[in-house]
Structure 1
Amino acid sequence: MRPFLFIFFAFSLLSCYQMSSDSIVEGTLEVPENRNDPNSRSLFLKYKVLKALSPDSLKAPIVYLQGGPGGATLIMEKYFLEHPLRKDRDIVLMDQRGTGESSAICTDLGQSVFELMRQNLNLTENVKATQALLASCKKYAENNNVDLAGYNSRENAADFEDLRKSLGYEAWNIHGSSYGTRLGLTFMRDFPGGIRSAVFAGVLPIESGDLASKVLNIERSLDLVFENCTSNPNCHSRFPDLKNRLKTVLTTLDETPWHLKYKGNDFVLNAHDAFSLIILQLYDRRTIGQIPSFIEALENKDTKPIVHSLQGYEPFIGMVNIAMHYSVMAYEEFPFSPMEKIDEAIKNAHFKNAYASTLPFYEIIADWHPYRAAPIENEAVVSDIPTLLISGEFDPATPPFDALSTQKHLVNGYAVVFENESHHFSNPCLTQIITDFIDSPFQKPNMDCSSKVAPIPWDLERQNP
């Protein structure tokens, strides 16, 4: 069992340049941990600049804002090395404060949470075990003078503005995904002068600080999966009545968890664990196609598909720095999320037994630190910066209506929804739209290809053919 991970004075700058090759510049940026504290300690943030493949290009660079919150960024280097966007623009990557190689703490916390997931703990036991893990991390933070008040989107955005100035860029294009879009909107609000254009994929509006919506968004995405399967004759014939079958198997796992082997060790799968694996599958069209066969595997206690999903989930949770994740959530989400509203959303959910631990874990995160955002952190960003807003139809975390809501406040905002895609996707159509937009940000790009994505590839045989 585990908590859902859903994926703000004066300063000194230290830019340590190291040329690892003619095409990649590595460096370290020194920033204050808390710009509101004149005695703040320093953080050291690692960055890389992947120089444009066209050496004479003078086009404005692109800085990538990773999701999470808490996701590492430098691990994206290989993805961007040969990316078409790098053809004539520098790509700037920096591990955000508290993530990756940038003054991160409690880096083993994600793996520890996964180890709790494999145990046969009831809700009370799991909450206590999680509290113990977080207490140990908080003790480490206190002993090392870590100021948890400094880990939020406002400070994060200020880091990137400092980086822009340090690198000498007059202006750049920001490219954010998931939480990176919320960070990007904060950046646009606080430091608009250095931003030429913005590309946001999987839009998380600043004003959407309502944790109850997380439950509603997951339910919406699952309903789309069930409706899509039902409308496909082959999927419907092979996997009828999926919603009720999922309800039944989750009830069974809630009453009698399934004991299985994972990497040679015992693993106890309960309803919450199984539902967590399904949520992760909702993030990509390829794994969406496996959800019906995954539900069938749960019914039949077919171990292979479950182990395969765990092999994807374990590194995923390890990539997110949970200390940073919880810090941002406690600061930016909790002040604007009444617990009663979250409780009501769970009570009205189709799969309420799978959300049983959600409310207690939100309360745990709320206790992580006492710092809370000002009302401005729940107000829509109004801007005339050209912005491209990208959504996937099935997205369980940042549904298309979040992007459309954000667009209302952006004078030069363009929104595109990709059919049959979800939270994570990349295709030639998307790349072309982004390229065209960044080249001419005040002109709406041709987005017709977004409606021509192939249907969901349903796995009608088994999880891993």
Structure 2
Amino acid sequence: MFSIFFLILYACNPTPKYETIDGILEVPENRQNPDSRTLKLVYKILKAKKADSLKAPIVLLQGGPGGATITMEAFWENNPLRDDRDIVLMDQRGTGESQANCTDIGKAMFNILRQDLTQEGEIKALDSVFSECKKTMKKNRVDLAGYNSKENAADFEDLRIALGYDKWNLFGGSYGSRLGLTIMRDFPNSVRSSVLASILAPETNFFNATIRNLENSLFSVLELCDQNEDCNNQYPNLKNRLLKTLKKLQTEPLRLDYEDKAFVLNSQDALILLFMNLYDRNSISSIPLLINALEKGEPKPLKNAIKNIGDMYNFINWSMNYSVMVYEELPFYDAAALKKEVKQSTIIEFDSISFALSDKLAANWHSFRATDFENQPVVSEIPTLIASGGLDHVTPPSNATEALKHLKNGYGILFPDEGHNIMNPCFLKIAKEFINNPSQKPNIDCSSIRKPIEWDLSPSF
């Protein structure tokens, strides 16, 4: 069932309003279990501004795993991609309005972060939080075996059929790229083209590379500051200062008042702040400022960064996140390879469990594990545009390079000065042109125009 909202235009309002459709899709929680519960997934269609357009729609595939999608509606309302194509948003199973489980975990994680806990202490505290969540889900008859990319992909295929679309164009980033590749693999006849960014492909060994990816990105950012005269003059010798500050915070954590409660900021928390600031070019610009604030104990930049962590923790549904990652990544976790990474790491002693899925926590979450099939590259002839950020600390460009080897009609774009979140005008322009003509090699000339980071050189007090 769905309802249609016709928005009436008044002369006093010059901004045009366009039709949207709200609906609910009912799907099995676990298609492998005939006795599975039924889930109600909430979706919204932003109808094309050109009302008589017959062009294939664009379906958005949110990242995370566990990120809500419909909350992004405002971003897409007047996006150029909507000019002559419907934009379809659906909160993935277990996220947002689609029967999300244990929605208070993010708040609990943030409260753990407030405390001055060791890594083992954080693991123990988080394990307690997730254990309570599992008890609640068991009481509600939640089948954790159904929360994975294969089931997620099947949900979107059911949605396409229910809405009567012959084919559609996929648009996803981060985990959304993993979901997109799964849809391309399982339902190739339903996909006209794909635009994917920040690639997390099935064959990506996510756990093993987490530390290396963070270090490469962070130190690259610090090097860019060193190479910029203004940034280097204001924030010289950043790498050594950072390592020295992290070392000091191990024994002398900063104590802040945040939202009328104590927040003890230790070396693990400091690294999380930096991790969060690496997501996009705007927050990357303030990393030198943030390191300076950590060194000098200046509260304003630290509180702004802490807020970003709280927002992220509350945006992600961690039940869905853990379920997908445990099922699809843990079976292919290479302890020996990770041990080698640890030996080569500069920052591992400061590493925190709060932003990386611990193998100890993961093993306790559920017992379901993917077969080798879910770790194989997706081989496809579907026209696919893949974008990467040169400073991406989560899904580096090498992920895209590997995925493109198996995509016959795949094209790659690299934005050297972007992080994990890529949504700049050049990318959107290329994406729109590609979706309109996916059989043609895209013109990516605008991506070659470097746009260096505009460093935040404002006073930090």
Q: TM-score, normalised by structure 2?
A: 0.95
When residues 419 and 123 of structure 1 are mapped into structure 2, their CA distance, relative to the original with a 3 A threshold, is closer
* 1:182 match: secondary structure: helix
Which of residues 351, 370, 375 is equivalent to 1:355?
A: 351
CA-to-partner distance for each residue in 1:173-203, whole Å, 9 max, x for gaps?
A: 0001100000000110001010000000111
CA contact (8 A) 1:45 1:101 kept: yes
Alignment pair present for 1:302 and 2:298: yes
In structure 2, list runs of 5 or more residues that go unmatched. 8-18
CA-to-partner distance for each residue in 1:17-57, whole Å, 9 max, x for gaps?
A: 11123610111000000000011110110000100000010
CA contact (8 A) 1:254 1:353 kept: no
Which of residues 226, 230, 237 is equivalent to 1:234?
A: 230
CA-to-partner distance for each residue in 1:44-72, whole Å, 9 max, x for gaps?
A: 10000100000010000000000000000
Q: CA deviation at 1:417?
A: 0.5
When the two chains are superposed, the root-mean-square deviation of aligned CA atoms in Å is 1.4
Determine the C-alpha separation between the residues in 2 that align with 1:180 and 1:113: 24
What's the counterpart of residue 371 of structure 1?
A: 368
Which of residues 231, 247, 258 is equivalent to 2:254?
A: 258
CA-to-partner distance for each residue in 1:118-175, whole Å, 9 max, x for gaps?
A: 0122333322211111110000111110000000000000000000000000000000
Which of residues 381, 385, 396 is equivalent to 1:384?
A: 381
Q: CA deviation at 1:422?
A: 1.2
Alignment pair present for 1:335 and 2:331: yes
Determine the C-alpha separation between the residues in 1 that align with 2:353 and 2:29: 33
CA contact (8 A) 1:419 1:452 kept: no
Deviates more, 1:352-361 or 1:157-166: 352-361
Q: TM-score, normalised by structure 1?
A: 0.94
CA contact (8 A) 1:127 1:360 kept: no
CA contact (8 A) 2:50 2:84 kept: yes
CA-to-partner distance for each residue in 1:383-434, whole Å, 9 max, x for gaps?
A: 0000000111111111112111111110000000012111113222111100
Which of residues 139, 158, 161 is equivalent to 2:157?
A: 161
Which of residues 56, 60, 72 is equivalent to 1:60?
A: 56
CA contact (8 A) 2:271 2:352 kept: no
What's the counterpart of residue 175 of structure 1?
A: 171
Deviates more, 1:26-35 or 1:16-25: 16-25
> Partner amino acid for 2:236?
P
What's the counterpart of residue 393 of structure 2?
A: 396
Deviates more, 1:308-317 or 1:93-102: 308-317
What's the counterpart of residue 3 of structure 2?
A: 18
When residues 40 and 89 of structure 1 are mapped into structure 2, their CA distance, relative to the original with a 3 A threshold, is same
Query: Identity over aligned residues, as a percent?
Result: 48
Determine the C-alpha separation between the residues in 2 that align with 1:129 and 1:213: 25
Determine the C-alpha separation between the residues in 2 that align with 1:386 and 1:121: 48
What's the counterpart of residue 273 of structure 1?
A: 269
What's the counterpart of residue 33 of structure 1?
A: 29
* 1:278 match: secondary structure: helix
What's the counterpart of residue 200 of structure 1?
A: 196
> Partner amino acid for 1:20?
F
Q: CA deviation at 1:312?
A: 1.7
CA-to-partner distance for each residue in 1:196-243, whole Å, 9 max, x for gaps?
A: 000001111110034111111111111211221121122222222211
What's the counterpart of residue 43 of structure 2?
A: 47
Q: CA deviation at 1:365?
A: 1.8
Determine the C-alpha separation between the residues in 2 that align with 1:212 and 1:92: 34
Alignment pair present for 1:214 and 2:210: yes
* 1:268 match: secondary structure: strand
CA contact (8 A) 2:269 2:352 kept: no
CA-to-partner distance for each residue in 1:253-289, whole Å, 9 max, x for gaps?
A: 1122211110111001111111011011111111111
When residues 356 and 66 of structure 1 are mapped into structure 2, their CA distance, relative to the original with a 3 A threshold, is closer
Alignment pair present for 1:114 and 2:99: no
What's the counterpart of residue 181 of structure 2?
A: 185
Determine the C-alpha separation between the residues in 1 that align with 2:68 and 2:252: 37
CA-to-partner distance for each residue in 1:281-313, whole Å, 9 max, x for gaps?
A: 111111111111111111100011000111222
Q: CA deviation at 1:356?
A: 5.3
* 1:46 match: secondary structure: strand
* 1:71 match: secondary structure: coil
CA contact (8 A) 1:209 1:334 kept: no
